[in-house]
Amino acid sequence: MKNRIWFITGISSGLGKALAESVMATGDFVVGTFRKQSQVEEFNKKFATTAHSVLLDITNEENIETTVRDIITQYGRIDVLVNNAGIGFVGAVEETSMEEVRRVFEANVFGTLKLTQTVLPYMREEKNGQIVQISSHGGIKAFAGFGIYNASKFALEGFSEALAQEVAPLGIKVSIIEPGPFRTKFAGDGLGLAENEINDYAETAGAFRAKLKGVDGKQEGDPEKAAKAIIDLVNSEKPSLRLPLGKVALMTIGMKLDSVRDDLEANKEIAQTAVY
């Protein structure tokens, strides 16, 4: 089998970096993205023959289109797209300004959607390809203080679940990765915080904010082991639509499923009365 071309966004740290390095170790070729030119230059000097990096602002549609065209021109195809780039954000729903909401959605939803749409025509032409969406256990279950981030990942999961059905007959596979807490920079300096804080939410959103900042660097998840799991998924003959990662993810997603099932059972009779 010929070496694949992986296009991975956001490889400066955490899961993106671990995945890029692990993919290179398998012999496949990585095209990765950074947000700083100095990072691009340093990476390309270090990995001149096994990978290539480019500057990409995931919120800039023109930048996305130009980048994808350049990759296709230079390498001929994109076999695996990994939409990893995104931002975290903490704040109660009421605390969050619309400007802050839009910033989260531009990166986590609109940018990811645009990049997916831009790569799809080339995968359709090849009748082959895999799209890996990096979501979160927070894309299934919401948490007080995480509502806007949850909403962005719920949106990612929604269009990705539909997309998987649309492209399956075309030879393209889609998988959604749902990590729990991992030792990345997600909860560190890069975490967005609502500028407005309301005292009434101190015991809910405020407590979540403090907890998240307090576990930075101590999370259970190992990015290198997550990277191996993702590569194994991509290599599998029938990759699953969803892949939770970590014990916390298994627990929280299980709690959500139980909650939904309980509500279904409790309201089954009422639901059945609301028809002709």
Q: Which domains does the chain have, with CATH numbers?
A: 5-248 (3.40.50.720)
CA distances from 110 to 6, 116, 270 (A): 21, 10, 37
81 pLDDT more than 70 = yes
153 part of the active site:
yes
Query: Two tokens at 161?
Result: 């679940």
211 pLDDT more than 70 = yes
pLDDT (mean) for 181-190: 61
pLDDT (mean) for 82-86: 95
Amino acid sitting at position 98: M
Query: Two tokens at 211?
Result: 């907890």
pLDDT confidence tier of residue 222, bands split at 50, 70 and 90:
confident
Catalytic residue among 153, 173, 175, 201: 153
Is the CB of residue 93 less than 8 Å from the CB of residue 148?
yes
Angle formed at CA 252 by CA 248 and CA 257, multiple of 5 degrees: 145
Query: Two tokens at 132?
Result: 């890996």
pLDDT (mean) for 104-122: 97
pTM of this prediction? 0.93
pLDDT of residue 208: 83
Catalytic residue among 53, 135, 136, 160: 135
pLDDT of residue 33: 97
CA distances from 270 to 266, 267, 273 (A): 9, 5, 5
Query: Two tokens at 219?
Result: 């999370």
d(CA 120, CA 72): 12
135 part of the active site:
yes
23 pLDDT more than 70 = yes
pLDDT digits (tens, 9 = 90+) for 146-174: 999 999 999 999 999 999 999 999 999 99
Residues in the chain, how many? Answer: 276
129 by DSSP, 3-state: which?
A: strand
Nearest one of 164, 131, 138 to 152, comparing CA atoms: 138
pLDDT (mean) for 117-138: 97
212 pLDDT more than 90 = no
pLDDT of residue 217: 57
Query: Two tokens at 196?
Result: 């407005």
Query: Two tokens at 176?
Result: 């959604």
Q: Which residue has the tokens 């939409």?
A: 83
d(CA 104, CA 224): 26
Q: What is the mean pLDDT of the chain?
A: 93
214 pLDDT more than 70 = no
183 pLDDT more than 90 = no
pLDDT of residue 134: 96
d(CA 20, CA 84): 11
pLDDT of residue 155: 98
Is the CB of residue 230 less than 8 Å from the CB of residue 177?
yes
pLDDT of residue 84: 95
pLDDT (mean) for 230-241: 96
pLDDT confidence tier of residue 181, bands split at 50, 70 and 90:
confident
Catalytic residue among 53, 141, 149, 175: 149
pLDDT of residue 39: 96
pLDDT of residue 215: 63
